[in-house]
A = this chain, B = another copy of it.
């Protein structure tokens, strides 16, 4: 059904690995690398591709701001799936290069931040030059002439670009992982599984903490747990924020439906960015009083009071 899926390229990127892991390519879809997150999202918006896989959160660096911001503005897109991939960094070089001869290293700033300790201990003298992505760093080693001696990237890029792996697992944090989301134009919402997430962008009428308390109360009163909460600037003036949240549950869960309507009344804008199955399949914790059954019972009770059947 889905024929083309954009991903944050170039070939050999983490996003490509995530796309393969997601199973989205299993039905024969074509993977289309793009230069950046915005290009991937715009390809979906323009109908050039059927979906895009982009990173949204990293356990070390935090949210991927550009993804949150681009999803929160412009034509609405929705998340239909998520995939979480362990982050593995390797030091790649042209065949024959050894540690001692590395004068500079290129990689994406986020990657650089995650291998700082290893670099300090093993190639302390090397200069660092930022790249647009880890894969483009790897690719730049085979340019003629190349300005760079080494790249921090994932191992798969070595194979793609004919490079050598000088060291593997060089990340400072062995448990680091990145979460990617698969986005599409709004259409049918994936069916509720009991183990779902819903992603929202919430724009406030006025600023917090009062406003944030108000928003949190809409969740708390309906027993909804948040798995991610980010404040992001609206890019208007310092101190003007919106909130990006992931919650446990599906828009078809009655507690989530009611909370969404409450937020719609409280916020100046609520952008619904999709309900989709959790990557880990962990079922939502739903406290007594806010199950669908409780909501149904309450409605039946109320209608009876009002003399309706």
Kindly list chain B residues whose C-beta atoms are within 8 Å of the C-beta of A299: 261
CB distance from A294 to the nearest CB of B (A): 5
Flag if B233 contacts A231 (CB, 8 Å): no
Kindly list chain B residues whose C-beta atoms are within 8 Å of the C-beta of A209: 216, 219-220, 225-226, 229
Chain A interface SS verdict (over half)? mixed
CB distance from A268 to the nearest CB of B (A): 11
Kindly list chain B residues whose C-beta atoms are within 8 Å of the C-beta of A113: 66
Kindly list chain B residues whose C-beta atoms are within 8 Å of the C-beta of A232: 62
Considering only CB atoms, which chain B residue lies closest to A258 in the complex? B258
Q: Does A266 contact B (CB under 8 A)?
A: yes
Flag if A235 contacts B60 (CB, 8 Å): yes
Kindly list chain B residues whose C-beta atoms are within 8 Å of the C-beta of A144: none
Flag if B57 contacts A238 (CB, 8 Å): yes
Flag if A212 contacts B217 (CB, 8 Å): no
Q: Known: A210-B220, A219-B209, A307-B188. Is A84-B261 also a contact (CB below 8 A)?
A: no
Interface band, chain A: 35 or more
Q: Known: A59-B237, A217-B221, A238-B179. Is A295-B84 also a contact (CB below 8 A)?
A: no
Cross-interface CB contact of A130 among B132, B227, B297, B306, cutoff 8 Å? B132
Flag if A298 contacts B264 (CB, 8 Å): yes
In the assembled complex, the Cα of A307 lies from the Cα of B187 at a distance in Å of 8
Q: Does A159 contact B (CB under 8 A)?
A: no
Q: Known: A130-B131, A175-B236, A301-B264. Is A216-B212 also a contact (CB below 8 A)?
A: yes
Q: Does A28 contact B (CB under 8 A)?
A: no
Q: Does A218 contact B (CB under 8 A)?
A: yes
Flag if B226 contacts A261 (CB, 8 Å): no
Kindly list chain B residues whose C-beta atoms are within 8 Å of the C-beta of A60: 233, 235
